[in-house]
């Protein structure tokens, strides 16, 4: 092995080509054996490096998103729920112009109809395309924003969430009706209006949102901002979770 070849691992390391460091020698032996051209060898080595980086980036996005495990498009049975279908959900994943518009998706329906699963499916699909997504229970994000407001850094906390083109807020209907909680939820909706997208799931229809917000004016203002650029999906039927449990038990 000549000096230049011997120093190759060090040079690759300095260039931060970690995968190449571990693969260049074995791949080089394969290239010699199969009589690859230098260009073919280099191309394959670069492909392995890029594929590994892409996989690591995807894993980072998934870890940060905190989406519910296994709730993706491939394992949701749309035949068990009315009001939504696979082509519609796939469209949100494949045609991402709505994210650029800061548009929203609002999923309504009784508990157990798969609203969270559908929202998560969109999240998983968008992450695979490289978008940053964050999933949070409504009660958790409200608590987080409340604490920030108490420490006079609510705006900073809202700005931190701007790095996510899509924020999924799950189970809005379970937010308690207090002035502190509903005011920060309104602040979140107003802050992201026409800037960044929200997917919200709720077991309460808009007609019942006066149970969430302490002030009727705030209720109307929140709904107006949400629906201005939104797709509203009403899930109907018997409990999706119960049907799945029954089918698994057969």
Domain boundaries, the chain: 3-63, 66-249
- Rounded distance, CA 115 to CA 155, Å? 29
Under CATH, what is the fold of the domain 66-249?
A: Rossmann fold (3.40.50)
Q: Which residues pair with 20 in a beta bridge?
A: none
Token pair for residue 98? 């709505």
Alpha helices, H only, 86-160: 86-94, 97-100, 115-128, 138-150, 154-160
pLDDT at 173: 81
* Residue 131: both structure tokens together: 């978008």
Q: How far is Cα 132 from Cα 63, in angstroms, rounded to an integer? A: 11
pTM, full prediction: 0.83
Q: Which residues of the chain fall below pLDDT 70?
A: 1-4, 176-181, 239-250
Cα 99 to Cα 126: distance, rounded to the nearest angstrom: 10
Backbone angles phi, psi at 82, to 5 degrees: -100, 150
């Amino acid at each position: 092995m000549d000096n230049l070849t011997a120093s190759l691992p060090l040079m690759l390391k300095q260039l931060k080509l970690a995968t190449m460091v571990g693969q260049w020698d074995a791949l080089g032996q394969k290239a010699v054996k199969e009589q690859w051209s230098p260009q073919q060898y280099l191309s394959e080595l670069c492909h392995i490096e890029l594929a590994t980086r892409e996989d690591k980036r995807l894993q980072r996005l998934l870890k940060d998103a905190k989406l519910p495990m296994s709730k993706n498009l491939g394992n949701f049975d749309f035949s068990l729920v009315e009001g939504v279908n696979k082509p519609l959900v796939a469209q949100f994943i494949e045609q991402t112009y709505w994210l650029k518009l800061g548009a929203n998706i609002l999923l309504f329906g009784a508990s157990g109809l798969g609203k969270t699963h559908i929202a998560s499916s969109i999240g998983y699909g968008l992450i695979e395309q490289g978008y940053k997504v964050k999933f949070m229970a409504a009660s958790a994000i409200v608590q987080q924003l409340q604490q920030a407001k108490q420490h006079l850094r609510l705006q900073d906390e809202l700005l931190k969430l701007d790095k996510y083109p899509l924020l999924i807020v799950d189970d809005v209907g379970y937010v308690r009706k207090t002035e502190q909680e509903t005011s920060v939820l309104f602040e979140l909706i107003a802050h992201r209006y026409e800037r960044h997208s929200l997917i919200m799931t709720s077991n309460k229809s808009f007609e019942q949102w006066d149970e969430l917000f302490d002030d009727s004016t705030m209720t109307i203002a929140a709904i107006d901002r949400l629906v201005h650029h939104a797709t509203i999906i009403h899930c109907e039927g018997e409990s999706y979770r119960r049907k799945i449990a029954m089918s698994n038990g057969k």
